[in-house]
Amino acid sequence: MTETRQTVFTGNPTEGEPGSTVFRHVILFKMYDGTTDETVDEALRLMVDMCEDPTVLHYEVGVSQDTRKGKILFEFVDYQDEDAFNAFKATKAHQTYASFIRNHADWIIADYVVAA
C-alpha cells in the first residue's frame, strides 16, 4: 500500500554568499510506542508552524521512511547564527511545540555551523 499523506515539508530555500555559514539545528524524535498517526500529523503541523518563523532561513521536517526503530520525525533547521537560534527558542511557537512533543517522543539533538 502506498502512503498518500505528505510527510516531508521544506521551506525558505536560501543561498548564502560564498564563504558564509549558517547555524544548523538537527533533531531526531523517536515517537513513543503506540503513537497514533493523528499525533504524528499534529506534531508535523506544529513543526511546520514553528519553522515558519522569520528567524528560520531554511527547514526540512518530516517522517523517516525507515521504520525499523519505530516512528521517527526529523527536523533540520538553519539560522543565521547561534544568536538567531537562541531567539527562536523563546518564541511562542517553539514553546508550544516543545510542550506538545515532550509527551509523545524522546529526541537527540545536534547543533553545528555549516557552509551556507
Confidence at residue 4, expressed as pLDDT on a 0 to 100 scale: 46
DSSP helix/strand/coil, 88: helix
Task: Give me the mean pLDDT over the 73-92 stretch.
Answer: 96
Report if residue 23 sits inside a domain: yes
In Å, what is the CA distance from 4 to each residue of 1, 7, 8, 111? Answer: 9, 9, 12, 32
Query: What's 69's domain CATH number?
Result: 3.30.70.100
pLDDT digits (tens, 9 = 90+) for 10-21: 766 666 676 788
**Distance, CA of 13 to CA of 63 (rounded, Å):** 20
pTM of the full predicted structure? 0.85
In a domain, 9, yes or no: no
The predicted-structure confidence for 23-67, as pLDDT tens digits, reads as follows 999 999 999 999 999 999 999 999 999 999 999 999 999 999 999
- The share of the chain scoring above pLDDT 70, in percent, equals 86
